[in-house]
A and B are shown apart, each in its own frame.
Chain A
Amino acid sequence: MISIYLYGKLRRYAPDSRPSGNSVIEVEAIEDETLQMLLDRVGIDIEELYTIFINHKLLTSRTKYARFLGYQQVRDDTCQSWDLNVVIKDGDRLGLFGRDMSGLVV
């Protein structure tokens, strides 16, 4: 099973969309499925996304200063690439934040 945690306006994609609840979509894993394919499968538009975490590590963010913060990252090279060809495996947790929840520091 893969758990997709949704925040802000993205909560509308989940059965429980209350801010105080856990807005999670749970889907079965498919072998060799990439993040891009998974988001297509569950119907989440990439254009809506601002920041993506995989297992609490930063995969990518639209803000230019993301790579200078020193977050734990999925890939060492860059966290500003929107290359979503990362294979998502059974047991992985995704954290998705939309443009209404932009920013990684205030």
Chain B
Amino acid sequence: MGKKILRINMSDMQTSYEDVPEKWARWAGRGLTSAITYDEVDPTCHPLGPNNKVVIAPGWVTGSPAAPSSGRTSFGGKSPLTGTIKEANSGGLSGQKIAKLGLAAIILEGVPKKDKWYTLVINKDGVEFEDASGLIGKGMYDVDEILWEQYPNEPAVIGIGQAGEMKLSNAGISVNDPENKPGRYAGRGGMGAVMGARGVKAIVVDDTDGPGVDIADADLFKQGRRKLTKAIGKHDLTKKDGGLNAFGTNVLMNIINEAGGLPTRNFSAGQFEGAALNSGEKVAEIVEERGGEGMTGHSCHPGCIIQCSNIYPDEDGSALVSCLEYETAWALGANCGIDDLDYIAKMTRECNDLGVDTIEAGNTIAIAMEAGVLEFGDKEGALKTFDEIREGTPLGRIYGQGVEATAKAFGVHRVPTVKGQSMPAYEPRAIKGIGVTYATTTMGADHTSGYTIAPEIAGVGGKVDPLADEDKDALSLTFQAATAFIDSTGYCLFIAFPILDIEEGWAGMAESVAGVTGLDITGDDVIEIGKEVLKMERLFNKAAGFTPADDRLPEFMRYEELPPHNVKWTMADEDLDEVYAWVQED
């Protein structure tokens, strides 16, 4: 049985199961959400209006038997934060269950005629529209718990917190983790507001007795899976007891701080004196000391062999939040001048409950601190900003709109955003390769858009000098294209590390995709396929009104020197423009 696309129209409460048309047959994950958004969403539409959509798609290999670390779900549409196309992907339970129901994608479209909220229940028999009025006003911790009590078989719960109900631009989409907690987020870009605008509070996915995922060539799939699994198990960062397993993504806190690239106090410095107190090593120490439910090496979805997640314990050992990531510990920590992990964990829990992206939330608090609304380091004050959002006060609604709206409201000019989305935890003045990606990606400032891949592994010829500004454009494109491919596979982006350092892993990834889908894909095709995804995204943005002048880092980075290296952003605009110069309409 071929995969289907489930279309759910909230305007007339109709659903249909459609064959996947030829033009989309080769896509999955980000490739598919971007293809559908490109084909079906008017780039000039208002993101919260009736003509935007939420497209949900598991990756190529998601749901296939024992593909390692492959439980990602992509969420796409037009972003209310950036006005660009958006794909945000998440771990958690949803991807594998959607795939096992035989679905290539779910398209959520339209707006209910009445001002009413729904829970959509999707199983092998179809879709039910349930009244969600009892869930309105509730955070995701309650929503997940209530829906697991209400529905059998421990389903996936995709939902929005109060921020999504209020259609705030920083609202993310939550996916429950194996413990049914809302720790996994398609966080960036405000897709939670787009879901809220469809009148959908939650989507329950139960894959019981679903058809499962077809494997076109079992031998090729097994061969690819074996190579990839071996590479993940061998690499220092991803192996058992390796960097990610032992310290989580927060393994980076001390490294980036040592490199002078840790954005501190709203991007005014590259080092934070309290970095060690917020580090992954410190989280591991607290987990060991407090015991109880705390743990490192936690899986965000079944079948992950990297297990980089954690459960941060409260003082009494009870679970306070999962997961404390590097980006989160940085955004709510160094960037706000806060060096207390307990407070950072409490704020992270608030983000997970209200349904806001932790990176944008931390950057927003830093803007409020820069404006003098709060003092840098004021952890109590920072924590209370989330009460303002929950209560929907005018100030809370400003915070919930993210960095640019908050900066305008308070007259701040040091605004670390590109295309309306704030930067993650790498200072582009100190780590310039990542700056090129921030500036040019189709998504707004995003570190996951352009992973760094040695061109010789990616099969891209030519000699490049990574230190020369004029070569960084070519590198960034390669990185962005490979990332677009990985985001389409359903594999976690962290497989990038072993497959980049171990060539057999690179081939294994491509072979496993070819084995599941029957598509003729080898490691040599990865970059070209990724570029096709980028092209659709770039053309959508162009039609939405974006030009190369939007591919720039903020002005203050050109004139403010960043300590300790005392460097400015020096890359020429013409070099940035080269990254996407190849994109032309057919």
In this assembly, does B435 line the interface, its C-beta being within 8 Å of a C-beta of chain A?
yes
- Known contacts A8-B247, A101-B243, A104-B255; is-contact A72 B501 (Cβ 8 Å): no
Confirm or deny: B185 has a beta carbon within 8 angstroms of a beta carbon on chain A.
no
Instruction: Look across to chain B and name the residue whose beta carbon is closest to the beta carbon of A96.
Output: B258
Are A20 and B453 in touch, CB under 8 angstroms?
no
A103-B453 contact, Cβ under 8 Å, with A50-B236, A64-B501: no
The answer to whether A7 and B281 touch across the interface, beta carbons within 8 angstroms, is: yes
Does B414 count as interface, using CB distance less than 8 angstroms? no
Question: What CA separation (Å) do A105 and B436 show in the bound complex?
Answer: 15
- Which A residues are in CB contact (< 8 Å) with B447? 105
Decide: A56 and B243 in contact? CB cutoff 8 A. no
Q: A78-106: which have CB < 8 Å to B?
A: 95, 97, 99-106
In the complex, which of the residues A5, A18, A100 contacts B258, with contact meaning CB atoms closer than 8 Å?
A5
Interface centre among B247, B258, B276 (most CB of A within 10 A): B258
What is the count of residue pairs linking A and B with beta-carbon distances less than 8 angstroms?
130
B467 and A72 contact, CB distance less than 8 A: no
Complex CA gap A69/B496 in Å reads 14
Cβ proximity bits A13-37 to B, threshold 8 Å, 1 near / 0 not:
0000011111000000000000000
Residues in chain A near residue B431, CB distance under 8 A: 69-71
Report Cα–Cα, A76/B465, bound state, in Å. 10
Q: B286 — nearest CB in chain A belongs to which residue?
A: A19
Contact size range, A: 35 or more
Contacts of A20 in B (CB 8 A): 276-277, 282, 285
Contact residues in B for A69 (Cβ distance below 8 Å) = 431, 433-434, 452, 466
Is A95 a contact partner of B244 (Cβ separation < 8 A)?
Answer: no
Complex interface residues of chain A between 1 and 16 (CB less than 8 A to chain B): 5, 7-8, 11
Out of B258, B277, B454, B472, which one reaches A53, CB within 8 Å? B258
Query: Are the C-beta atoms of A65 and B453 separated by less than 8 Å?
Result: yes
**A101 CB, nearest partner CB in chain B, Å:** 6
Contact A19 B276 (CB under 8 A): yes
Which residues of B in the span 209-238 have a Cβ within 8 Å of any Cβ on A?
Answer: 235-237
A73 cross-chain contacts in B, Cβ below 8 A: 467
A60 within 8 Å of B (CB atoms): no
A50, B435: Cα distance in complex, Å: 24
Bound complex: CA A7 to CA B280 (Å): 11
Please, how many angstroms separate the alpha-carbon atoms of A104 and B236 in the complex?
12
Q: List chain B residues, Cβ under 8 A from A104.
A: 252, 255, 259
Interface of B is mostly: helix
Q: How far is the CA of A17 from the CA of B255 in the complex (A)?
A: 17
Q: Complex formed: what's the CA distance from A7 to B431 in Å?
A: 21
Looking at the assembled complex, report how far the CB atom of B110 sits from the nearest CB atom of chain A, in whole angstroms: 38
A105 contacts which of B451, B564, B567 (Cβ < 8 Å)? B451
B226 to A: closest C-beta gap in Å: 22
Convert B428-460 into 0s and 1s, putting 1 for each residue whose CB lies closer than 8 angstroms to a CB of A.
001111111000000000010001111001000
B259 touching A68 by the CB < 8 A rule?
no
Residues in B with CB closer than 8 Å to A105 are 252, 426, 434, 447, 451-452
8 Å CB contact of A68 from B242, B326, B426, B475? B475
* Residue in B closest to A50 when the chains form the complex, CB atoms: B236
CB-CB nearest in chain B for A102: B236
User: Which residues of A sit under 8 angstroms from B260, Cβ to Cβ?
Assistant: 56, 72
State whether the Cβ of B64 lies closer than 8 Å to any Cβ in chain A.
no
**Distance between A105 CB and nearest chain B CB, rounded to angstroms:** 6
Chain B, 83-103, CB within 8 A of any chain A CB: none
Query: 26 A-B Cβ contacts within 8 A?
Result: A7-B255, A19-B279, A19-B282, A20-B277, A50-B236, A56-B564, A57-B565, A62-B236, A63-B237, A63-B501, A64-B457, A65-B452, A65-B454, A68-B454, A69-B434, A70-B467, A72-B567, A97-B255, A101-B254, A102-B236, A103-B236, A103-B244, A104-B252, A104-B255, A104-B259, A106-B252
Binding site for A on B (CB under 8 A): 235-237, 241-244, 246-247, 249, 251-252, 254-255, 258-261, 271, 276-277, 279, 281-282, 284-285, 326, 426, 430-436, 447, 451-454, 457, 466-467, 472, 475, 479, 494, 497, 500-501, 564-565, 567
- 16 further A-B contacts with Cβ under 8 Å, apart from A99-B242, A101-B254, are A8-B281, A22-B276, A56-B258, A65-B452, A65-B454, A67-B467, A68-B475, A70-B435, A71-B259, A71-B430, A71-B431, A72-B565, A95-B258, A97-B255, A97-B258, A106-B249
10 nearest A-B residue pairs (beta carbon)? A70-B433, A70-B432, A19-B281, A102-B236, A95-B258, A56-B260, A65-B452, A103-B237, A19-B282, A102-B237
Which residues does A use to contact B, with CB under 8 Å?
Answer: 5, 7-8, 11, 18-22, 50-51, 53, 56-58, 62-65, 67-73, 76, 95, 97, 99-106
